[in-house]
């Protein structure tokens, strides 16, 4: 069984804050990882954001996963939950596994815990209910399964590709983020040519919502100073962050980004 791949290169942008914890005594079929996680506590239209930590224990022999996760509730009180070991179920034949916990609020302080993990990218998403609110937690958001459509508004010509991945690394307050784009293509070329392996954009505005986040910027300069400046940036991370729908402009071209945080099941 393939373990979580901790990509330190550019292709999948694994600056998702997912890092393996070394343990020489740990059997090879087990792994413990720690991650920075972003949580929204949702009660109607009210949303409380917090950033915390999660410890994730994986048993690949028995395909089990267990979480210890911290967050702040709607009153700003720090909370930590610990699940039991949960079976990981592969429903699509790919790298994504789902899991759920049958604990009740009375015994564990939460209920209806369920989520997914992508063993190819390290992306994790999970949700549960507690104290009348819905809690949704993710690692830093990596959308590796996207289609980018590029349009020239002067002549209406379009082209699209699925080479780019988009990472949104939120700050501790959930107010700004760093956006990284891998395999950036800046033209309508049909040869699959990548202009830049990775671009970084700082200080985009983040707005937490009951269904995800909205990421915006009027204009933002790339890490390649003077090149690849973006304007009119809007990304809607919707369906509790499982779907991305974004747009921006670069070099007089219009870009549209659609896709999912996990690949669709086969």
What are the structural domain ranges in the chain? 18-139, 141-260
Averaged pLDDT for residues 209-227 = 95
DSSP label of 10: T
Q: Which of 176, 194, 177 is nearest to 185 (CA)?
A: 194
The mean predicted confidence, pLDDT, of the chain is: 86
Q: Hey, do 18-139 and 141-260 end up sharing a CATH topology, with the first three levels equal?
A: yes
Fold for the domain defined by 141-260: Lipocalin (2.40.128)
Architecture per CATH, 18-139 = Beta Barrel (2.40)
pLDDT at residue 111, rounded to an integer = 87
Cα distance between residue 105 and residue 266, in whole Å: 34
Give the pLDDT confidence of 85-94 residue by residue, as tens digits. 999 999 776 8
Averaged pLDDT for residues 1-18 = 33
The pairs formed by 108-111 with CB atoms below 8 angstroms and a separation of 24 or more are: 108/81, 108/82, 108/83, 109/79, 109/81, 110/81, 110/135
223 token code pair: 């890490």
What pTM, to 2 d.p., does this model score? 0.88
- As a whole-number percent, the residues of the chain with pLDDT over 90 amount to 71
The residue with greater pLDDT, 74 or 213, is: 213
Averaged pLDDT for residues 71-88 = 92
Averaged pLDDT for residues 209-236 = 96
């Amino acid at each position: 069984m393939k373990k979580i791949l901790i990509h330190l290169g550019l292709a999948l942008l694994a600056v998702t804050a997912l890092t393996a914890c070394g343990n020489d005594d740990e059997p090879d079929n087990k792994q413990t990882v720690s991650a920075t996680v972003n949580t929204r506590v949702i009660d109607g239209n009210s949303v409380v954001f917090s950033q915390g930590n999660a410890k994730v224990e994986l048993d690949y022999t028995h395909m089990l996963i267990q979480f210890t996760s911290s967050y702040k509730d709607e009153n700003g009180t720090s909370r930590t939950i610990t699940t039991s070991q949960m079976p990981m179920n592969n429903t699509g034949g790919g790298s994504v596994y789902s899991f759920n916990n049958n604990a009740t609020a009375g015994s564990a302080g939460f209920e209806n815990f369920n989520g997914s993990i992508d063993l190819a990218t390290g992306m994790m998403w999970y949700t549960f209910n507690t104290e009348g609110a819905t809690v949704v937690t993710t690692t830093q958001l990596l959308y590796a399964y996207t289609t980018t459509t590029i349009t020239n508004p002067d002549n209406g010509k379009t082209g699209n590709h699925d080479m780019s991945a988009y990472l949104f690394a939120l700050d501790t307050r959930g107010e700004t983020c760093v956006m990284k784009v891998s395999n950036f293509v800046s033209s309508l070329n049909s040869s699959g040519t990548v202009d830049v392996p990775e671009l970084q954009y700082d200080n985009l505005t983040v707005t937490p919502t009951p269904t995800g986040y909205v990421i915006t910027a009027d204009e933002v300069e790339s890490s390649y100073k003077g090149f690849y400046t973006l304007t009119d940036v809007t990304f809607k991370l919707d369906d509790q962050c499982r779907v991305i729908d974004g747009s921006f402009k670069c070099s007089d071209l219009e870009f549209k980004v659609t896709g999912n945080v996990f690949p669709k099941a086969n």
